[in-house]
Structure 1
Amino acid sequence: MLKQWIKTFVVTASLLAATGAHAFTEGKDYKPLAQPQPIAVAGKQEVIEFFWYGCPHCFAIEPSVEAWEAKLPANVNFRRVHVMWDGRNDMEGHAKIFLALEAMGLTKKHQMAVFKAIQQDRIELRKEDVLFDWVKKQGIDVNKFKANYNGFSTKNQLNKLSELTKTYAVDGVPMFIVNGKWVTSPSMVGREDDTITKVINELLAKNKAPTAAKAKK
C-alpha cells in the first residue's frame, strides 16, 4: 500500500510540474480585499498594479509583468497606478513622471526605461533639468511632456493617486488588485519572478465574468 501511495504521489507531482499547474493558497499567496471595489470597464476583468519608480522590488518584477501584459487577452484591463502615500514627498516627482507619460499614452513603452534610469543608472529624475534632458534623449516630445508634467490638472491627478492608494489600502509595493476582490504581491508569494503573474492568472480564472460597476477614477 505504501509503495502504491508513493508511486501515485510521484506521478501526480510529475504531472503538475509538466503542466505548470499551481495551487496557490488564500491567506498566503493572496487574500480578499478588505473593501471590494468596482472595476473600471464594464464586461472586462481588471488587474491593477500599484507601484513606485523608486521601489527596487517593483523594478525586479517589471520584466515578468511586461511579458505577462503582452499576452493578456482583450477581456482583461490592466492598469498601473503610481502609489502616493501621505507624508512621502519623495514620491511626488516620480508620480508626476508617471502622470505625464500616462497622459501621452507612453507609459507602457517607457515604463522599463524609467525604472532603469532610476534604479540602475541612478539618475535623479526628480530634478527637472535632469528629467527633461533624459526625456529628450528618449525621443519623447519634451514640450508636450513638460505641459503634462506641470499641467494645471497635475495636482488633482496626484490627489487621485493618493485617494486610490488609500481606497485600496496599499501598505507596500508592488501590490496587485484582481477584479476589485483579491490582493496579491511578491512579498506574499515570497518570490520576485513570474510567480506573481501565475497567481494573478489563477485569480482571474476564479472570476471570469465579474460584475462591473461604476469605476472610481
Structure 2
Amino acid sequence: MRQLLTGLIMLSLLPFTAVANDFQEGTHYERLPSSVGTENRDKIEVAEVFWYGCPACHSMQPLITPWAETLAEDVALVHLPAALRGDWEVHAQAFYTARSLGVVDQVHSDLFQALAGERQRLNSKDQMARFFADRGVDEDEFRKAWGSFSVNSMMQRASSRIRGARVTGTPSLIVNGKYLVTVRGAGSQENMLAIADHLIEKERQQN
C-alpha cells in the first residue's frame, strides 16, 4: 500500500518535477540573504510555515502529508506555525503546547478543520483547553504546558526564524534554512512541493 501511495504521489508531481531545471532562483523561489536556523543540522529540513486559520494551508494538507511520507531518511519535514498577526499567536501557542505534551497527532488535523474549515472561534487559553480536553488531553496538564518556559522558548525561536526568512504569508516553505518557497512564486501548491524536491536535491549535491 505504501509503495502504491508513493507511486501515485510521484505521478501527480510528474508534470512539475519533469521541468525542475526550469525552476529559477529569484522567480520561483528566493535564496535568503542570511540562513536561518534549523531544528536538525544532520538533515535537510523543509519547514512548513502555516496558520491553522488559513484555508490555503488547510487545503495543502492532503498534498503535503503524503509527500512527507515519500521523503528520504536525510530529509525532515517540520511544522512552523506563524504568528504574523497578534490574533494568530494563540494558535501558534496551541501547536507548541501540543508538541510539548506529545499530542500533535491528536489535535493537528482537528485544529485545521475547526479554524480554517469551520471558522470556529478558538481565540483564548480557555477555549483551547476545552478543545484539547475534548480530544483526550488532560486539562490540568494542558494549562501547565500552555505558559511554560519550553513553549514560550519554542514560540520565540519560531518567530525569529520566520522573521529571518522574511515570510509574509502562509503557506510557505523554508528549505534547509536557505530558501523561501511561496505559492505566489511557485504558481501552485503542487509546484511548491516540486520546488522543494528540487532544492532538496540541490542541497544534497552541495553537501
Q: What is residue 129 of structure 2 aligned with on the other side? A: 132
Q: In structure 1, how many angstroms separate the alpha carbons of the residues matched to 2:71 and 2:106?
A: 16
Q: CA RMSD in A?
A: 2.5
Letter in 1 for 2:117: Q
Q: What is residue 7 of structure 2 aligned with on the other side? A: none
Q: In structure 1, how many angstroms separate the alpha carbons of the residues matched to 2:114 and 2:89?
A: 17
| 1:1-217 → structure 2 map (5 Å cutoff) | 21-23=18-20, 24-26=22-24, 27-85=26-84, 88-192=85-189, 194-208=190-204
Choose 93-102 or 29-38, whichever is displaced more: 29-38
Q: Determine if contact 1:44/1:210 at 8 Å carries over to the other structure.
A: no
Alignment gaps of 5+ in structure 1: 1-15, 212-217
Q: In structure 2, how many angstroms separate the alpha carbons of the residues matched to 1:154 and 1:122?
A: 25
Q: Determine if contact 1:100/1:149 at 8 Å carries over to the other structure.
A: yes
Alignment gaps of 5+ in structure 2: 1-12
Q: In structure 2, how many angstroms separate the alpha carbons of the residues matched to 1:207 and 1:158?
A: 27
Q: In structure 1, how many angstroms separate the alpha carbons of the residues matched to 2:153 and 2:15?
A: 50
More helix by share: 2
Q: Determine if contact 1:45/1:210 at 8 Å carries over to the other structure.
A: no
Q: In structure 2, how many angstroms separate the alpha carbons of the residues matched to 1:158 and 1:39?
A: 14
TM-score (structure 2 length as normaliser): 0.81
Cα offset for 1:20? Answer: 5.7
Q: What is residue 4 of structure 1 aligned with on the other side? A: none
Letter in 2 for 1:203: L
Larger Rg: 1
Q: In structure 2, how many angstroms separate the alpha carbons of the residues matched to 1:37 and 1:141?
A: 35
Q: What is residue 8 of structure 1 aligned with on the other side? A: none
Cα offset for 1:47? Answer: 0.9
Letter in 2 for 1:206: K
Q: In structure 2, how many angstroms separate the alpha carbons of the residues matched to 1:18 and 1:84?
A: 34
Letter in 1 for 2:23: T
Cα offset for 1:54? Answer: 2.0
Q: Aligned in 2, Cα 1:108/1:66: closer, same or farther, shift over 3 Å?
A: farther
Q: Deviations over 1:82-122 (max 9, x none)?
A: 1133xx32011111101101112332453221110111122
Paired residue total: 193
Q: Determine if contact 1:179/1:210 at 8 Å carries over to the other structure.
A: no
Taking only the aligned residue pairs, the percentage that are identical comes to: 26
Letter in 1 for 2:97: A
Choose 100-109 or 172-181, whichever is displaced more: 100-109
